[in-house]
């Protein structure tokens, strides 16, 4: 007979494994993807869910073991969801400002990166 | 909604500060409530000058629905991006999209940009100076107008309703 605590233990273990897997895939994206704009997708999405899973597991565990429900983890999740997009936005903005090269398959001509191509065409690109 | 008072310029911010304080302390003791209440009144008063004009939330219940939908979309987004990263063939069609904004106030635009970053395959990269266009990088799309429509219908229109602008 599987008791309530065994069941919750299984749920917590699954959440931890899922969290670790998502965090790992996010980091894998950092090495695998081609340009900085694509690499940004890994840490912004998979890592938030990875940390979210781990925090949910921690919340469940300490609610069952400790005294009463634990809410601090929820605050971490909320702060993470607020700050992750902002840092990603700033990274993308500075990448555009530096006119970092993008993957040749990227479609859409944009004025933020336009000057670079002009320079290249004129052959006066800085080393 | 609680109306703003001279000593309480931003009621929502005050409530949020008090809630965060009590959650951090993990207690509902009278002393903590008093200290949290004191901070919740003093901090908005001291920082009032730094705040942009805050639009009022007209329909709070729609906001709750929006947050729930967002949580669901974050999970879907993660699965999709994970699939793309793990795909050994690596057939991705990234694109830059210029998204014409319908929202005008800064705060709803901020929420929209954050939402876009957290949801499937999109990162908001730049808000143009005139605040009319948001530059979005998409990890994988074969139909750019459809992507714009999805964002418009799923996120921007509800935000417009919530803030009533």
Convert the pLDDT of each residue in A17-68 to its tens digit: 999 998 888 888 888 777 888 788 777 777 788 888 898 888 888 888 876 6
| CB contact B135 to A (< 8 Å) | yes
Residue in B78, B93, B97 closest to A46 by CB? B78
Domain span including residue A101: 4-122
φ/ψ of B135, rounded to 5, equals -90, 125
Contact between B78 and A49 using a beta-carbon 8 Å cutoff: yes
pLDDT of residue A56: 87
Measure the CA–CA gap between B5 and B147, rounded to whole angstroms: 43
Q: Do the domain assignments include residue A80?
A: yes
Q: Do the domain assignments include residue A127?
A: no
Residues in chain A closer than 8 A to B21 (CB atoms)? none
Q: Do the domain assignments include residue A61?
A: yes
φ/ψ of B123, rounded to 5, equals -130, 130
| CB contact A17 to B (< 8 Å) | no
Model confidence at B121: pLDDT above 80: no
CATH code, A60: 1.10.287
Measure the CA–CA gap between B45 and A56, rounded to whole angstroms: 35
Contact between B121 and A41 using a beta-carbon 8 Å cutoff: yes
| CB contact A67 to B (< 8 Å) | no
Convert the pLDDT of each residue in B31-87 to its tens digit: 888 998 898 888 888 887 777 777 777 777 888 888 888 888 888 878 888 888 887
Model confidence at A13: pLDDT above 70: yes
Three-state SS sequence of chain B: CCCCECCECCHHHHHHHHHHHHHHHCCCCHHHHHHHHHHHHHHHHHHHHHCCCCCCCCCHHHHHHHHHHHHHHHHHHHHHHHHHHHCCCCCCCCEEEEEECCCCCHHHHHHHHHHHHHCCCEEEEEECCCCCEEEEEECCCCCHHHHHHHHHHHHHHHHHHHHCC
* Total domains, chain A: 1
Model confidence at B101: pLDDT above 70: yes
Strand partners, B96: B137
Contact between A107 and B144 using a beta-carbon 8 Å cutoff: yes
| CB contact A110 to B (< 8 Å) | yes
Mutate to test the interface with B, among A43, A89, A96, A109 (most CBs of B within 10 A): A89
The strand pair at B122-127 and B95-100 is best described as unpaired
Measure the CA–CA gap between A88 and B116, rounded to whole angstroms: 11
pLDDT of residue A125: 42
pTM of the entire structure? 0.76
Angstrom CA distances, A39 to A88, A101, A116, B7, stand at 10, 13, 21, 46
Contact between B85 and A46 using a beta-carbon 8 Å cutoff: yes
Model confidence at B164: pLDDT above 80: no
pLDDT of residue A122: 46
Please report how many Cα atoms fall inside a 13 Å half-sphere around the Cα of residue A95, on the Cβ side.
21
pLDDT of residue A127: 41
Contact between A107 and B113 using a beta-carbon 8 Å cutoff: no
Residue in B81, B93, B144 closest to A41 by CB? B81
Model confidence at A120: pLDDT above 70: no
| CB contact A37 to B (< 8 Å) | yes
| CB contact A4 to B (< 8 Å) | no
Average pLDDT value for chain A: 78
Structure tokens at B152: 């418009």
Band (A14; pLDDT cuts 50, 70, 90): very high
Measure the CA–CA gap between B117 and B123, rounded to whole angstroms: 4
Residue in B23, B90, B97 closest to A72 by CB? B23
- Distance of alpha carbon A34 from the chain centroid: 16
pLDDT of residue B120: 67
pLDDT of residue A121: 46
| CB contact B117 to A (< 8 Å) | yes
Residue A1 distance to chain B (closest CA, Å): 33
């Amino acid at each position: 007979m599987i008791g309530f605590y065994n069941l919750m233990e299984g749920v917590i273990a699954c959440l931890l494994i899922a969290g670790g897997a998502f965090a790992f895939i996010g980091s894998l994206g950092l090495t695998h993807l081609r340009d900085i704009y694509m690499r940004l997708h890994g840490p912004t999405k998979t890592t938030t869910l990875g940390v979210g899973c781990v925090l949910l597991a921690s919340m469940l565990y300490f609610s069952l073991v400790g005294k009463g429900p634990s809410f601090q983890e929820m605050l971490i999740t909320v702060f993470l969801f607020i700050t992750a997009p902002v840092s990603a936005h700033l990274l993308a903005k500075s990448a555009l400002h530096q006119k970092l090269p993008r993957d040749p398959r990227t479609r859409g001509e944009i004025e933020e990166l336009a000057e670079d191509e002009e320079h290249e065409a004129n052959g006066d690109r800085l080393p | 909604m609680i109306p703003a008072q001279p000593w309480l310029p931003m009621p929502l911010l005050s409530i949020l500060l008090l809630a965060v304080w009590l959650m951090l302390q993990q207690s509902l003791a009278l002393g903590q409530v008093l200290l949290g209440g004191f901070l919740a009144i003093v901090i908005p008063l001291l920082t009032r000058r730094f705040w942009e004009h805050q639009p009022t939330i007209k329909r709070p219940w729609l906001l709750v629905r929006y947050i729930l939908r967002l949580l669901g979309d974050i999970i879907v987004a993660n699965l999709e991006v994970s699939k793309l990263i793990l795909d050994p063939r690596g057939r991705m069609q990234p694109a830059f999209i210029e998204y014409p904004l319908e929202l005008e106030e800064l705060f709803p635009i901020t929420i929209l940009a954050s939402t876009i970053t957290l949801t499937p395959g999109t990162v908001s990269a730049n808000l143009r100076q005139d605040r009319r266009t948001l530059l979005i990088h998409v990890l994988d799309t074969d139909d750019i107008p459809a992507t714009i429509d999805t964002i418009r219908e799923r996120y921007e229109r509800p935000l417009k309703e919530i803030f009533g602008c």
